[in-house]
Amino acid sequence: MKQSQTSRRSFLALAALTPFAAMTATACGTSGPGTSSSGGGASMWYLSGEPNQTTMQKAVDAFTSANPDDKIAVTYFQNDAYKTKIKTAIGAGQAPTIIYGWGGGTLKTYAEANQVDDLTGWFDENPDLKEKFFPASFGAATVNGKIYALPNQYVAPIVLFYNKELFEKAGAQPPKTWDDVMSLVKTFNDMGVAPFSLGGQSRWTSMMWLEYLLDRIGGAEVFTAIFEGKPDSWMDPAVIETGTKIQELVSADGFIKGFSSIAADSNADQALLFTGKAAMMLHGSWTYGAMKKGGQNFVQDGKLGFVQFPTVAGGKGDPKNGVGNPAQYMSISSKATDAEKETAKKFFKDGILTETVIDTYINSGSVPIVNGIEDKLNTSEDKDFLNFVYDLAKNAPNFQQSWDQALSPTAAEALLNNIDQLFLKSITPQQFAENMNATLGK
């Protein structure tokens, strides 16, 4: 009898351990290079992938060689993995000194938990720095009237890219209206080419379609109301019409076959466009640089076309409105030591968006968020695209930040999950609106 008890206990132990192992295994990704404790040094987490990683490493190297007492240790992570890792690290008090992010709802949760420092006073002391950046870039860095992050890098609107070669072959023009889109879908399907490339497994890629469509149909006010958490704001008829249009496009085979198994992290969606398997792609302007680098001279030979998102007949939105990332952001962890914070602030002031960094971004096909770069853009070999992005960002009456960044993490996760189901047609537009409406205020 004694034996059977022992064996039962060992099985209890096994049973108790196993599910728990999942919880700890999922959480154990948090350990990493924590806050460095040595004085005068700051730590920073940044995204891997080119050209960003090299640009940042060069900027850090230049800064540390000019300021030998201020060391900055950078660790690079993949985009999708970073988004989870940084949240967990902050919750565990293991955040790096410099917290990289996209502002908006996520920054708001950090600010409300006093995890990041208020930089308003520091910007007031350094007016030159504040005036260096596009004024619009501060919107997503501001929580309750206070600035919690330094805008940096580049403005990244969502752009409709197309393959000029395929359009010539089809004798077609890039779409100006939603009706054009639907007729182009037929044209390209008849040609045996997929109309649109989409990395649907990443979900935020599909979200870009909704962001533009909702803006064109209902105007910027619809999402503003959602962002402000107004009751029943997701139940706006424009949301349901947006969902209906998306499902019509999916049903008409508008997206490449198998789009929901393509992940954007692998850049397969871009490859479909530049290898001529798909005619068009709605994506962030950062893909221009990536396609220039990896696209087998597709960009260099002038085969990549780009236009603003088409209008929708009867829609209320201004066709000049843009969506995307107004900038990327860096905050300072409130848990860092004073010496680390000083180093970080010095780096913010002297190390980021230096002339060299600005030139590197422009050369890689991005528009840095600094004022007075028109001359540089005009002399660049990518001036057509750079000016297009610059004008889009500058002239947009409303530049909507990406929804998954603007909303709280809880609402954003529900949004991405429901968008995935909407594209799979496993929920109706009505159900989509209802599901999302339930997340308001969360």
Partner 1 sequence: MSNAVSTARKPAVRAARSKGDPGHSGQRNATLAWLTVPALFFFLTFAVVPLAGVLILSFASWDGIGAIGSAGLGNWFSVLADPGLYNALGLTFLIMIASWLVQTPISLLLGVFTAGSQRYRAALAVLYFLPLLLSSAAVAIAFKALLDPNFGLATGLGLPFLAQDWLGVPHLALGLVIFVIAWQFVPFHTLIYQGGVRQIPRSLYEAAEIDGAGTIKQFFHITLPQLKYTIITSSTLMVVGSLTYFDLIFVLTGGGPGNSTRILALDMYLRGFRANLMGPASVIAVILVLIGLALALFLQRLGGKDKQGSQLEGM
Which residues sit at the interface with partner 1, rule CB under 8 A? 3-4, 6-8, 10-27, 84, 87-88, 90-91, 109-110, 112-113, 115, 200-201, 203, 256-263, 266, 268, 271-272, 277, 408-410, 412-414, 417, 420-421, 424, 426
Cα 360 versus chain centre, distance? 20
Q: How far is the CB of 27 from partner 1 (least distance, A)?
A: 8
What is the C-alpha to C-alpha distance for residues 160 and 305, in angstroms, rounded to an integer?
A: 8
Q: How far is the CB of 270 from partner 1 (least distance, A)?
A: 12
Q: Kindly tell me which of 204 and 309 has the beta carbon lying closer to partner 1.
A: 204
Q: Kindly tell me which of 5 and 379 has the beta carbon lying closer to partner 1.
A: 5
Q: Kindly tell me which of 79 and 177 has the beta carbon lying closer to partner 1.
A: 79
Q: How far is the CB of 95 from partner 1 (least distance, A)?
A: 10
Q: How far is the CB of 105 from partner 1 (least distance, A)?
A: 10
What is the C-alpha to C-alpha distance for residues 245 and 254, in angstroms, rounded to an integer?
A: 11
Q: Kindly tell me which of 17 and 66 has the beta carbon lying closer to partner 1.
A: 17
Residue corresponding to tokens 């540089």? 376
Q: How far is the CB of 304 from partner 1 (least distance, A)?
A: 19
Closest CA to 52 of 308, 274, 325: 325
Kindly state the DSSP code that residue 265 receives in the 8-state scheme. G
Q: How far is the CB of 379 from partner 1 (least distance, A)?
A: 37
Token pair in block for residue 161:
């890219």
Q: Kindly tell me which of 10 and 356 has the beta carbon lying closer to partner 1.
A: 10
DSSP line for 46-82? EE-STTHHHHHHHHHHHHHHH-TT-EEEEEEE-HHHH
Token pair in block for residue 77:
């992570």
Three-state secondary structure string covering 103-119: CHHHHHHHHHCCCECCC
CA 94, 91, 330, 45 dihedral sign is: positive
Q: How far is the CB of 2 from partner 1 (least distance, A)?
A: 9
Q: Are 140 and 102 a contacting pair, CB within 8 Å? A: yes
Q: Kindly tell me which of 66 and 81 has the beta carbon lying closer to partner 1.
A: 81
Q: How far is the CB of 69 from partner 1 (least distance, A)?
A: 32
Q: How far is the CB of 191 from partner 1 (least distance, A)?
A: 17
Closest CA to 259 of 210, 195, 192: 195
Residue 401 pairs with which residues in a beta bridge? 324
Q: How far is the CB of 198 from partner 1 (least distance, A)?
A: 11
Q: Kindly tell me which of 86 and 370 has the beta carbon lying closer to partner 1.
A: 86
Token pair in block for residue 397:
């009456």
Q: How far is the CB of 228 from partner 1 (least distance, A)?
A: 20
Q: Are 323 and 316 a contacting pair, CB within 8 Å? A: no
Closest CA to 136 of 387, 323, 326, 325: 326
What is the C-alpha to C-alpha distance for residues 397 and 400, in angstroms, rounded to an integer?
A: 10
What is the C-alpha to C-alpha distance for residues 281 and 178, in angstroms, rounded to an integer?
A: 15
Q: Kindly tell me which of 206 and 328 has the beta carbon lying closer to partner 1.
A: 206
Q: Which residues of 150-168 are buried (b: 16+ CB within 10 A; e: fewer)?
A: bbbbbbbbbbbbbbbbbbe
Cα 169 versus chain centre, distance? 33
Residue 367 pairs with which residues in a beta bridge? 155
Q: Kindly tell me which of 272 and 377 has the beta carbon lying closer to partner 1.
A: 272
Q: Kindly tell me which of 304 and 415 has the beta carbon lying closer to partner 1.
A: 415
Q: Check residue 314 and give left, alpha or beta (phi > 0: left; psi -120 to 50: alpha).
A: left
Q: Kindly tell me which of 293 and 349 has the beta carbon lying closer to partner 1.
A: 293
